[in-house]
């Protein structure tokens, strides 16, 4: 149940988005009826001084006013082009954390509370913050490691940020429920489930021990990978609110001039980056999902170091096979096989025609052939693929969309390093190795071993399953004979919930409208 505060917070956010011109900057010419009228009203209410700004600038200004939880919301929605549209997702992806730092005294208090010791005891030196984001800020510090001083980066959670996120998430859920109730066409996008994913992602990010675990896992996976690594973690100085890890002395990958001046081979860096990402994705099923150039450093020997692993992606073996076979099928123009993979994975409902779906895929794949390889974007291919699958009722797959978003970013970074970057040539060794290991004879043997293990596990559970089946059969017989009965408390609860749902549904929009008018009167 949403509190009155949730309605007011949602109304305030809507008013700020309107006043800063974000709603007016969205494409509204194709709207009809009440949505188009609302868009025209939003244009009239926008501040005049933002009339010349583009949509990205307006979003940045609105997010500044709304606070840290909306910064994180924008970053999250950048991973969901199916929800906000491709152009808006790209605008959101370009936004950087624009938060001011908080006092060092507050950071020291957070560290002492989380680690149970004062900063002076834990660190040889502790400096002022050098970077701030929506959830945390980073301080340089010195520790003793293996008997020698070592520089570290100390990431500290913002005081009070969890309470702020909790309050704002309540209004996000309210908006999602209203969208599902009053916009039937949006139900396929499952806005409530999207909000639940955001809530879970944020909870993980706000426990820095989990980010440390992600760094450790990726470090183990990539220990022997050429040209890529992650920082080491100082577990003794890491807790829920504090993460201490190796300080990276390198050049940010966004600084192309500095990379060139240092003599780095940009073409080799581009190939190493995309191969590393595909290796993590296909081989490990675990990848850094926020690989923008600000999170990538290049050390003196050309090694790429990834930082800020708060957002990670995981895909299972089925999804990895799905990705590899799709790429392989498009390269070889085997559109029928690509269509079959979608049906085998259960992504497209079985009542659709495989041949018709293969025809739609051909509309994507044929324009690719005849182009030079360096002009073909793998990320664009996946974007078009997901657009077509919408016509065939493919449900939203968050793990695949996160993969798509990350591939868009990684491919963009590679092409910035090398404008003539050949994505397919760079990816071929990694994709070929994975296909040989998983779709050939070796893959069949591995599947056979996994199947055998599953059968053994099933045999061990057979007595328990038989007992449950017998109990279920007795309960079904009892219901068939006596009917299904609810106790009085349950029946009262169902009736009360139905009545409340109807009343709130009718009053929700009126409350929001009244709140907007009140805020507008206060502002004026």
User: Which residues are known catalytic residues?
Assistant: 290
Distance of alpha carbon 310 from alpha carbon 203, whole angstroms: 10
DSSP string, 289-358: S---GGGEEE-TTS-EEE---SSEEE--HHHHHHHHHHHHHHHTT-HHHHHHHHHHTT-S-TTS-HHHHH
196: CB partners within 8 A, 6+ apart = none
**CA dist., res. 475 & res. 467, Å (int):** 13
Coil, helix or strand at residue 243: strand
What is the distance of C-alpha 360 from the center of its chain?
A: 28
Which ranges in 46-160 belong to alpha helices (H)?
55-66, 68-77, 81-84, 86-93, 104-115, 119-122
**Residue recorded with tokens 């990320």:** 379
304, 227 contact by CB (below 8 A): yes
Give the pairing of strands 312-314 and 286-288: antiparallel
For the beta carbon of residue 147, count every other beta carbon within 10 angstroms: 5
* Selection from 349, 340, 345 nearest residue 317 by Cα: 345
Q: CA–CA separation, 450 vs 57, rounded Å?
A: 52
Structure tokens at 395: 């449900």
Q: How many CB atoms lie within 10 A of CB 51?
A: 11
- 32 in helix, strand or coil? coil
Q: In the block, which residue shows the tokens 């509204």?
A: 28
């Amino acid at each position: 149940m949403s509190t009155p505060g949730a309605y007011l917070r949602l109304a305030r956010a809507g008013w700020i988005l309107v006043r800063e011109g974000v709603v007016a900057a969205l494409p509204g010419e194709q709207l009809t009826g009440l949505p188009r009228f609302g868009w025209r009203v939003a244009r009239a209410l926008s501040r005049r001084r933002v009339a010349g700004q583009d949509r990205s600038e307006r979003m940045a200004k609105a997010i500044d006013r709304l606070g840290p939880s909306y910064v994180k919301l924008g970053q999250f929605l950048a991973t969901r082009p199916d929800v906000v549209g491709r152009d808006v997702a790209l605008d959101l992806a370009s936004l950087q954390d624009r938060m001011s730092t908080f006092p060092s005294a507050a950071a020291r208090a957070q560290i002492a509370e989380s680690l149970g010791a004062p900063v002076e005891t834990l660190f040889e030196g502790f400096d002022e913050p050098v970077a701030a984001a929506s959830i945390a800020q980073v301080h340089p510090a010195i520790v003793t490691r293996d008997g020698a001083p070592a520089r570290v980066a100390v990431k500290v959670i913002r005081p009070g940020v969890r309470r702020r996120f909790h309050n704002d998430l309540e209004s996000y859920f309210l908006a999602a429920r209203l969208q599902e109730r009053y916009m039937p066409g949006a139900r396929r996008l499952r806005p409530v489930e999207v909000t639940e994913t955001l809530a879970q992602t944020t909870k993980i990010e706000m426990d820095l021990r989990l980010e440390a675990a992600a760094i450790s896992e990726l470090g183990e996976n990539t220990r022997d990978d050429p040209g890529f690594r992650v920082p080491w973690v100082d577990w003794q100085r890491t807790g829920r609110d504090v993460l201490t890890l190796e300080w990276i002395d390198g050049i940010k990958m966004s600084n192309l001039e500095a990379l060139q001046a240092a003599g780095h081979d940009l073409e080799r860096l581009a190939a190493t980056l995309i191969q590393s990402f595909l290796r993590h994705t296909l081989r490990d099923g675990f990848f850094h999902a926020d690989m923008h150039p600000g999170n990538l450093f290049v050390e003196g020997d050309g090694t790429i170091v990834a930082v800020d692993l708060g957002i990670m992606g995981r895909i299972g073996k089925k999804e990895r096979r799905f990705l590899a076979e799709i790429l392989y099928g498009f390269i070889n123009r085997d559109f029928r096989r690509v269509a079959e993979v979608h049906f085998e994975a259960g992504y497209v409902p079985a009542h659709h025609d495989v041949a018709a779906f293969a025809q739609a895929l051909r509309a994507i794949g044929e324009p690719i052939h005849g182009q030079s390889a360096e002009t073909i974007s793998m990320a664009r291919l996946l974007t078009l693929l997901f657009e077509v699958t919408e016509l065939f009722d493919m449900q939203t797959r968050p793990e695949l969309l996160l993969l798509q978003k990350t591939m868009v970013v990684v491919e963009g970074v590679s092409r910035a390093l090398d404008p003539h970057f050949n994505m397919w040539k760079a990816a071929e060794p990694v994709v070929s190795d994975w296909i040989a290991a998983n779709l050939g004879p070796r893959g069949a043997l591995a599947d056979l071993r996994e199947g055998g293990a599953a059968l053994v596990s099933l045999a061990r559970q057979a007595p328990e399953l038989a007992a449950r089946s017998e109990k279920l059969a007795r309960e079904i017989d009892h219901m068939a004979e006596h009917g299904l009965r609810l106790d009085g408390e349950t029946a009262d609860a169902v009736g009360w919930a139905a009545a409340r749902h109807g009343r709130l549904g009718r009053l929700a929009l009126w409350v929001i409208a009244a709140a907007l008018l009140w805020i507008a009167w206060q502002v004026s």
